[in-house]
Amino acid sequence: MAELRQTPLYDLHLELGAKMVPFAGYAMPVHYPLGVMKEHLHCRAAAGLFDVSHMGQVILRGAGAAAGLERLIPQDVIGLGEGRQRYGFFTNERGGIEDDLMFANRGDHMFLVVNAGCKEADVARLRAALEPEVQVDYIEDRALLALQGPAAEAALAAVAPEVGDMTFMDVATVSLNGAECWVSRSGYTGEDGYEISVPAGAAVDLARLLLGDERVAPIGLGARDSLRLEAGLCLYGHDIDASTSPVEAALTWGIQKLRRAGGAREGGFVGADIILAQMQDGAARKRVGLLPEGRAPMRDGTEIFAGAEGGTAVGHVTSGAFGPTLQAPMAMGYVPSALSRAGTQLFGEVRGKRLPVKVAPLPFTPANFKR
Q: Compute CA distances 15 → 18, 208, 218, whole Å.
A: 8, 11, 12
Determine the interface stretch with another protein among 27-35, 79-87, 153-161, 164-172 (rule: CB under 8 A): 27-35
Q: In whole angstroms, give the CA distance from residue 103 to residue 301.
A: 31
Smallest distance from another protein to CB 299, Å: 7
Interacting residue with another protein among 3, 310, 351, 352 (CB under 8 A): 351
Rank residues 7 and 302 by Cβ distance to another protein and give the closer one: 302
Measured on CA atoms in the order 205, 218, 224, 362, is the torsion positive or negative?
Answer: negative
Nearer to another protein, 242 or 296 (CB): 296
Which residues in the 251-290 window bind another protein by CB under 8 A?
none
Q: How many CB atoms lie within 10 A of CB 222?
A: 20
Least distance from C-beta 32 to another protein, angstroms? Answer: 12
CB nearer to another protein: pick between 351 and 371: 351
CB of 115 to another protein, least distance (A): 21
**What sections of 18-70 are H helices per DSSP?**
36-45, 65-70
Span interacting with another protein, options 136-144, 183-191, 322-330, 340-348, rule CB under 8 A: 322-330
Of 314, 294, 298, 318, the closest CA to residue 306 belongs to 314
Q: Which of 12, 16, 27, 36 binds another protein (CB under 8 A)?
A: 36
| Residue list 290-319, contact with another protein (CB under 8 A) | 295-297, 299
Q: Find the largest Cα–Cα distance for the chain.
A: 64
Q: How far apart are CA 282 and CA 315, in angstroms?
A: 17
Phi then psi dihedrals of residue 347, to 5 deg: -135, 135
Reference 247, options 91, 357, 359, 362; nearest CA is: 91
Among 32, 89, 194, 322, binds another protein (CB under 8 A): 322
> Does residue 29 touch another protein according to CB under 8 A?
no
HSE-up (13 A, CA, CB side) for residue 78: 12
271/297 with CB nearer another protein: 297
Q: Identify which of residues 321 and 346 has a Cβ nearer to another protein in the complex.
A: 321
Q: For residue 34, how many C-alpha atoms fall within 13 Å in the half-sphere facing its CB?
A: 21
User: What is residue 44's three-state secondary structure?
Assistant: helix
Site for another protein (CB under 8 A): how many residues? Answer: 17
Q: Which of 321, 335, 346, 362 binds another protein (CB under 8 A)?
A: 321
Using CA atoms, how far apart are residues 135 and 60, in angstroms rounded to an integer?
A: 6
Residues 70 to 89: which contact another protein by CB under 8 A? none
Q: Is the peptide bond before 161 cis (omega within 30 degrees of 0)?
A: no
Which residues in the 145-184 window bind another protein by CB under 8 A?
none
Q: Which residues pair with 197 in a beta bridge?
A: 144, 182
- Residue 118 or 235: the one with the smaller Cβ distance to another protein is 235
Site for another protein in 209-238 (CB under 8 A): 222, 226
**Cβ closer to another protein: 181 or 355?**
355
Q: Is 31 in the site for another protein (CB under 8 A)?
A: yes
Contact mark string toward another protein, 84..123, x via CB under 8 A: ----------------------------------------
* Sheet with 193-199: strands ordered across: 171-176, 179-184, 193-199, 142-148, 47-51, 216-218
Comparing CB distances to another protein, the nearer of 114 and 350 is 350
3-state SS class at 243: coil
Sites of contact with another protein (CB under 8 A) = 30-31, 35-38, 222, 226, 295-297, 299, 321-322, 324, 329, 351
